Amino acid sequence: MRKKIIAGNWKMNKTPSETVALINELKPLVANDEVDVVFCVPAISLTKAIETAEGSNISIGAENMYFEESGAYTGEIAPNMLTDIGVKYVIIGHSERREYFAETDETVNKKVLKAFEHGITPIICCGESLTQREQGITIDWIRQQIKIAFLNVTSKQAKTAVIAYEPIWAIGTGKVATSAQAQEVCHAIRDCIAEIYDEATAEAIRIQYGGSVSAESAPELFAQPDIDGGLVGGASLKPDFGRIVNYNK
């Protein structure tokens, strides 16, 4: 049985001191032993977030990371900078990074490999645009993103990975995918993992849905057989996140 994993993606929101206040506010609300709870926060707030979350069930994740160890990459964050302060997860290839910061399936693959090398769990994002959905190529597109993201990743590593299926048209729009739409794609992702590796890897890997998840939509989405939790943007910055994490209560 896969444990659900529900992660907040704070994006470019909250200063370090606001981060402390928000984590302290949400800490009691997100207590739920049946779920892995992750807060992915801006790099500058990671240290404070880790200090503030100490002793709680919240793990802290980064929103991005570079694929080199060190060197002349002005403005980038190396994997050992994250592990040094106790970061456990990193979001890789969010659609906003693909759109505004030129990330590609190839850079996603490099970052995924680097994260595993350093023992950081990647939350690997994929998702189609509205045009692609209307063209009927959603599953083909997602399969390609998954196949490239997992190049040279071992099955042992893949078993511990998290994939976030986030239709781009549902992100920040308030237009959540129906649970049937989300389940269809998450199931196809699991099939794709089974093809690349084997059934055991496909059964172990956790697949989240993301895109306008709310306290209202979470219970039905997370009840789908292939949806193992969510990647939550807007609603992760509010007390609502506590209701999302406790979707099963």
Q: Is 119 in the site for ligand PGA (CB under 6 A)?
A: no
121 with 162: CB under 8 angstroms?
yes
246 lies in the binding site for ligand PGA (CB under 6 A): no
Label each residue of the chain as H, E or C.
Answer: CCCEEEEEECCCCCCHHHHHHHHHHHCCCCCCCCEEEEEECCHHHHHHHHHHHCCCCEEEEECCCCCCCCCCCCCCCCHHHHHHHCCCEEEECCHHHHHHCCCCHHHHHHHHHHHHHCCCEEEEEECCCHHHHHHCCHHHHHHHHHHHHCCCCCHHHHHHCEEEECCHHHCCCCCCCCHHHHHHHHHHHHHHHHHHCCHHHHHHCEEEEECCCCCCCHHHHHCCCCCCEEEECHHHHCCHHHHHHCCCC
Given candidates 49, 218, 232, 244, which one binds ligand PGA under the rule CB under 6 A?
A: 232
Smallest gap from residue 133 Cβ to ligand PGA (A): 16
Residues whose CB falls within 8 Å of the CB of residue 103, separated by 6 or more in sequence, listed in order: 93, 97
Cβ nearer to ligand PGA, comparing 9 with 183: 9
The active-site residue, picked from 63, 94, 96, 128, is 94
Q: Does residue 211 touch ligand PGA according to CB under 6 A?
A: yes
Q: Is 129 annotated as a binding residue?
A: no
Smaller CB distance to ligand PGA: residue 166 or 226? 166
> Rule CB under 6 A: is residue 9 a binding residue for ligand PGA?
yes
Q: By CB under 6 A, is residue 166 in contact with ligand PGA?
A: yes
Judge whether 11 is annotated as a binding position: yes
The answer to whether the annotation marks 234 as part of a ligand binding site is yes
19 binds ligand PGA (CB under 6 A): no
Q: Does 233 bind ligand PGA (CB under 6 A)?
A: yes
Please, are residues 149 and 126 in contact by the beta-carbon 8 Å criterion? Answer: yes
- Of 79 and 234, the one with the shorter C-beta distance to ligand PGA is 234
Query: Is position 80 annotated in a ligand binding site?
Result: no
Given CA atoms 194, 189, 68, 156 in this order, what sign does their dihedral have? negative
Q: Binding residues for ligand PGA, how many (CB under 6 A)? A: 13
195 is catalytic: no
Active-site residue 166, yes or no?
yes
Q: Which stretch binds ligand PGA (CB under 6 A): 62-70, 114-122, 149-157, 233-241?
A: 233-241
Q: Give the contact letters, 169-188, x = binds to ligand PGA (CB under 6 A), - = no.
A: --xx----------------
Which residues of this chain interact with ligand PGA, rule CB under 6 A?
9, 166, 171-172, 210-213, 231-235
Binding residues for substrate: 9-11, 172, 212, 233-234
> Which residues are identified as catalytic?
94, 166
